[in-house]
């Protein structure tokens, strides 16, 4: 039987050492662009969302993996500084730490390339350990790990009646078995379009995509950047929340901030609309370049 320890969020996902580059625009095919600056940054959707949840006041436990290299030091130091439980973050000597290169342009948009490394070798066998689930109130997943790991984690969560949030990013086909275990699906316009097989451009398209996805998922949230957020739950009408007016600094990491803050709200007992409003506000501050610590 699980102990009565305070509930926490279990984040099963990726950890990346990001190399960030600021440039006037994203390079076109065959083009070399002269950038303004570069800097290292903690990253990975799993790690970013875990940090966002922790900063929102949530107790977070991380299950992931890094390599035995210099990149891993930044990742572990950041998780520990944010008071995230890293006991299940393995060091894999035969795999490099995951990394990415992200380029932000003058308008705040970005493009990125990830190299997954150790994130594709996370040991799913850890999921059967009851101690891992002690006090867990929500499970958070993303698509930067192997699909089999997400399915195994969702099945273990279902065995314990732990609700599951999936940020289906990057976009990829989702197994029907996994879809049946998801309580909250979060996607952006590009990912919603990939899952629905139709383009999503603006609030009306977002509403249509969310309604279509709600036939499979219990709750669907589609983030639309400047067009706001759409929420659809079964047996409830669709809702559209306008974007918070801000001056865009960088959109990099906005979705991760939204997802982490949303899960922190749900864990604290907020209803879905309250949690979405809080997540939308904090994501807007992140895009504006404000500290959300």
CATH number of the domain to which 105 belongs:
3.40.1190.20
Rounded CA gap, 151 and 153, in Å? 5
Residue 88 confidence (pLDDT) above 80: yes
> Is pLDDT of 235 > 80?
no
Give percent of the chain with pLDDT exceeding 90: 82
Q: What is the pTM of this model?
A: 0.93
Residue 2 maps to a domain: no
H or E segment to which residue 90 belongs: strand 85-92
Rounded average pLDDT over 204-216: 92
Residue 281 has pLDDT above 80, yes or no: yes
- E-state strands within 105-163: 110-115, 136-142
Examine the pLDDT at 208 and tell me if it is beyond 70: yes
In this predicted structure, the answer to whether residue 243 has a pLDDT above a threshold of 90 is no
> Contact, 224 vs 186, CB < 8 A?
no
- Catalytic positions are 256
* Residue 271 CB burial class (10 angstroms; 0-12, 13-18, ≥19): exposed
Answer whether residue 214 is part of any domain. Answer: no
Can you tell me the distance from the alpha carbon of 24 to that of 34, in angstroms, rounded to the nearest whole number?
8
Pairing of strands 37-43, 16-22: antiparallel
In this prediction, residue 194 has a pLDDT band, given cuts at 50, 70 and 90, of very high
| Domain presence at residue 201 | no
Range of the domain at 149: 8-182+244-287
In a domain, 238, yes or no: no
**Count of domains observed in the chain:** 1
- Domain assignment present for 120: yes
Specify the DSSP class assigned to residue 71: H
- Does a structural domain hold residue 187? no
What does the alpha-carbon distance between residue 242 and residue 260 come to, in Å, rounded to a whole number? 20
pLDDT at 4: 47
* Residue 107 belongs to a domain: yes
Q: Express each pLDDT in 92-142 by its tens digit.
A: 999 999 999 999 999 888 888 999 999 999 999 999 999 999 999 999 999
Dist CA 268 CA 254 (whole Å): 21
- Using pLDDT thresholds of 50, 70 and 90, give the confidence band for residue 293: low
Average pLDDT, the chain: 93
Is residue 246 pLDDT above 90, yes or no? no
């Amino acid at each position: 039987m699980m102990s009565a320890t305070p509930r926490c969020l279990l984040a099963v996902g990726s950890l990346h050492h990001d190399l960030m580059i600021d440039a006037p625009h994203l390079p076109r095919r065959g083009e070399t662009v002269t950038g303004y600056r570069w800097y290292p940054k903690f990253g990975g959707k799993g790690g970013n969302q875990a940090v966002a949840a922790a900063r929102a006041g949530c107790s977070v436990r991380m299950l992931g993996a890094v390599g035995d290299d210099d990149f891993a030091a930044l990742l572990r130091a950041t998780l520990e500084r944010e008071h995230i439980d890293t006991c299940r973050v393995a060091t894999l000597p035969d795999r490099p730490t995951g990394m990415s290169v992200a380029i932000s342009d003058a308008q705040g948009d970005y493009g990125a390339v990830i190299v997954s490394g150790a994130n594709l070798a996370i040991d799913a066998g850890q999921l059967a350990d009851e101690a891992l689930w002690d006090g867990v109130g929500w499970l958070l997943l993303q698509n930067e790990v192997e699909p089999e790991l997400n399915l195994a984690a969702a099945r273990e969560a279902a065995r314990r009646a732990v609700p599951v949030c999936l940020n289906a990013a990057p976009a990829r086909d989702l197994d029907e078995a996994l879809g049946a275990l998801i309580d909250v699906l979060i996607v952006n316009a590009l990912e919603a379009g990939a899952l629905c097989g139709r383009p999503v451009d603006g609030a009306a398209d977002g509403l249509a995509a969310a309604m279509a996805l709600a036939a499979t998922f219990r709750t669907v949230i589609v983030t639309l950047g400047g067009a706001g957020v759409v929420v659809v739950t079964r047996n409830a009408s669709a809702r559209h929340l306008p974007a918070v007016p801000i001056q865009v600094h960088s959109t990099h990491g906005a979705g991760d901030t939204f997802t982490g803050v949303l899960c922190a709200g749900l864990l604290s007992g907020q209803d879905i609309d309250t949690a979405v409003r809080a997540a939308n506000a904090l994501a807007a501050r992140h895009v504006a370049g404000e500290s959300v610590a």
